[in-house]
Amino acid sequence: MEQPYIRLQNVAKVYETKNGAVEACAEVNLDIRKSEFVAIVGPSGCGKTTILKMLAGLIPYSAGTITVGGNVVDRPQTDVGIVFQDSIMLDWRTVLANVMLQIEIRHMDRAKFEPVAAALLKQTGLEGFEQKKPYELSGGMRQRVSICRALVHDPPLLLMDEPFGALDALTREQISMDIQRIWMDKRKTALHITHSIPEAVLLADRVVVMSPRPGRIVEIIDIDLPRPRRLDKLPQKFNDYAGHIRDIFKSKGVLAMD
């Protein structure tokens, strides 16, 4: 049997604060296959972002083991693309230069990757904006730039930490479609952190449902819906999956009962 590309075994994280220890998540066990799209959904403070940061090697875990590609994560991972909620663009650089910053930092061949950057910008609807500065872009356009920057060096793993959280509903839906299209084209292994139940069901192969803090995995749901998924043609099964997740949160006291 093929080994999972990502494996979290009994992972926990405790933050030491001036007011004492805070247990963010506990007993997290999760396997993710190569090229799989997994979403984690849960209430604020349940450790979703903590899991992503531990997986990226940005913060240490307090217990358990995390492996990526068979290698133990014990330092920041370099072969990864990360999209945060804030687009984090450099105001004095153009759109193309912001995307290419990833290549410069890694000392990669600019001539080889500039066409890759241009193709990603075209794929996300930013063709013609390559020489614009961040202040000339909408919030959604800025976030598309950050997605392109995360993918330009062709990493096998894409981590997204609530990348649509600061966007309006229509822009969120459009960028969700962009993400699905890019993922279907490149088949990266993807982990997507979100508060949005519909967003998780729309994008993911599996949805991981977390309990309130300390976050534990309550259920992992296989999303058996054909791709590409279209917002205007969602089957009843989509509503069934979303309703089931809402029922889990109601049972945990996260959502008020009717």
Residue type, 200: A
Range of the domain at 32: 1-77+191-258
- 180 lies in a domain? no
- 32 lies in a domain? yes
- 47 lies in a domain? yes
Q: Report yes or no: 102 and 124 within 8 Å, Cβ to Cβ.
A: no
- 164 lies in a domain? no
Tokens describing residue 234: 């969602």
- 186 lies in a domain? no
- 85 lies in a domain? no
Q: What are phi and psi of 12, to 5 degrees?
A: -140, 155
Q: What is the pLDDT along the chain (258 residues), one digit of tens a residue?
A: 578 999 999 999 999 988 889 999 999 999 999 999 999 999 988 999 999 999 999 999 999 999 999 999 999 998 999 998 888 899 999 999 999 999 999 999 999 999 999 999 999 999 999 999 999 999 899 999 999 999 999 999 999 998 887 677 788 888 899 899 999 998 999 999 999 999 999 999 999 999 999 999 999 999 999 999 988 888 999 999 999 999 999 998 876 544
pTM for the model: 0.92
Taking the chain, what is the end-to-end CA distance rounded to the nearest angstrom?
A: 45
DSSP state of 47: S
- 150 lies in a domain? no
Query: In terms of Cα–Cα distance, which of 182, 176, 153, 181 is closest to 163?
Result: 176
What is the pLDDT, as a whole number, of residue 258?
43
CATH number of the domain that residue 47 is part of: 3.40.50.300
- 57 lies in a domain? yes
Question: What is the domain count for the chain?
Answer: 1
Strand pairing of 6-17 and 63-68?
antiparallel
